[in-house]
Amino acid sequence: MAQLPLFPLRIVLFPGSLLPLHIFEPRYRDLLADVTAGEHRFGLLPPGEHGGLPAPGAVGCAALVRAVQPLPEGRANIVVSGERRFRFLEPAPAATAYHQGIVAWLDDLPDVQIPSEAELLRLRALGERYALALHALNDQSLDVRLPVDAAELSFEVAALLEWDFEARLRLLELRSATQRVLRLLQALPSLVRKAEERASLHGRAKSNGHGVIR
């Protein structure tokens, strides 16, 4: 168990992924000042009622502050990377305006059946195609190389998906790399096809003005 500063937010952070955040509320400006003076870590977790802490049992992810861009009036743009998942146990008494809580770290449970090499290679190929299509839609040309380890790969591909908050949270909560891989393999083919179609139309619209993006 551990005690973490907590930031309830309707954004899902996956282990190993990068996430930009804009910090503007006074209490979270305080949180940022405190964590950057210490271990550079806080916990992102789903919010409860009125944006407060969720009920005990909610799953979140520890965030490591990688970069800070100070802005006027004490605001900041930051980039965090996802570390270990945790289960929120209870609020922790603290003399801070921001929340703090007691958490238990979560790791994957042993899988009885592990993904085959073919499944992992297929997921990697689909994830890279999806990432390239998203980059093209944002007029970016980047080289994408995803990992081959089942746990790392499943989290990195999950971080790419343009799913709603609840669907992404359900993936974060899964403690089986095999289940995450199989769920992603089921969802990705149609997502990749749609993303590539949108990227193709976007490219044609830029080049000749006749593309229609739906």
Distance from C-alpha of 142 to C-alpha of 158, rounded to nearest angstrom = 19
Do 144 and 77 share a structural domain? Answer: no
Within-domain flag for 160: yes
Residues of the chain with pLDDT > 90: what percent?
Answer: 78
Q: Look at residue 205 in the predicted model and tell me its pLDDT.
A: 76
What pLDDT digit, counting tens, does each position of 14-40 carry?
Answer: 999 999 999 999 999 999 999 999 999
60, 84, 106: which is the final residue of a domain?
Answer: 106
Residues 16 and 67 in one domain: yes
**Is 56 within the bounds of a domain?**
yes
Same domain, 96 and 32: yes
The answer to whether residues 76 and 8 belong to one domain is yes
Q: What is the DSSP string of 153-214?
A: HHHHHHHH----HHHHHHHHH---HHHHHHHHHHHHHHHHHHHHHHHHHHHHHHHHS-----
Please give the tally of structural domains in the chain.
Answer: 2
Among 37, 71, 106, identify where a domain stops: 106
Confidence of residue 213 (pLDDT cuts 50, 70, 90): very low
Alpha helices in the chain (DSSP H): 26-36, 117-137, 150-160, 165-173, 177-208
- Note down the domain range covering 95: 2-106
Q: Are strands 41-45 and 2-8 parallel, antiparallel or unpaired?
A: parallel
What's residue 207's pLDDT? Answer: 66
Give the percent of the chain with pLDDT over 70: 94
Q: Classify residue 65: in a domain, yes or no.
A: yes
Least confident segment among 44-58, 82-96, 125-139: 125-139
Please say which residue of 51, 72, 106 terminates a domain: 106
Q: 45's torsion region: left (phi>0), alpha (psi -120 to 50) or beta?
A: beta
pLDDT digits 0-9 by tens, 92-139? 988 899 999 999 999 999 988 899 999 999 999 999 999 999 888 887
Let me know if residue 42 belongs to a domain.
yes
- Are 44 and 11 part of one and the same domain? yes
- Does a structural domain hold residue 111? no
Model confidence at 186, pLDDT cuts 50, 70, 90, reads: very high
* Residues 67 and 89 placed together within one structural domain of the fold: yes
CA atoms of 183 and 188, how far apart (whole Å): 9
Same domain, 7 and 93: yes
